[in-house]
Amino acid sequence: MGEKIPEPFCWDASFEVFYAQLDTEHKGLFKGVFDVAADKGNAGALAHLVKVVVDHFAYEEGQMKKANYENFDSHKKLHEEFVGKIKGLKAPVDDATVHFAKDWLVNHIKKIDFKYKGKL
């Protein structure tokens, strides 16, 4: 989807949204995907990733809602689509799925989350 995928797959300052809790959670999402990629047959790692994603989206949506953020509805819809996809996964996941998750996260943060910078 365009943005460069870091390898190793770790959060770096280019992903900063400058809200401490959101940046901390984004780091956790990178770690969650990293751990799935490192052990594609690990059902626990996959379940953990789904949990941190769901928890992060709930918090992020709450912050957007509180701020009356203009793009709330379209942003929430993108979250729901991604959750729908990863909830349907079963270990072992394949390389294409790992790539999809990495690509989605990188592009979502830089193209979608970045739009709320300074507005929450």
* Longest Cα separation, the chain: 41
* Range in contact with Fe ion (rule: CB under 5 A) among 7-15, 47-55, 81-89, 111-119: 111-119
Rounded to a whole number of angstroms, the minimum distance from the CB of residue 116 to Fe ion is 8
Tally of CA atoms within 13 A in the half-sphere of 86 that contains its CB: 27
Scan for tokens 């943005």, then name that residue.
3
- 37 counts as binding Fe ion under rule CB under 5 A: no
- 33 counts as binding Fe ion under rule CB under 5 A: no
With respect to Fe ion, which residue has the nearer C-beta, 35 or 82? 82
CB atoms under 10 Å from CB of 88, counted, come to: 8
Considering only residues 47 through 66, tell me which ones interact with Fe ion, judged by CB under 5 A: 60
Size of the residue set binding Fe ion (CB under 5 A)? 2
Scan for tokens 């992020």, then name that residue.
60
* Range in contact with Fe ion (rule: CB under 5 A) among 2-10, 37-45, 88-96, 107-115: 107-115
Q: How buried is 103 (Cβ within 10 angstroms: 0-12 exposed, 13-18 middle, 19+ buried)?
A: middle
Binding site for Fe ion (CB under 5 A): 60, 113
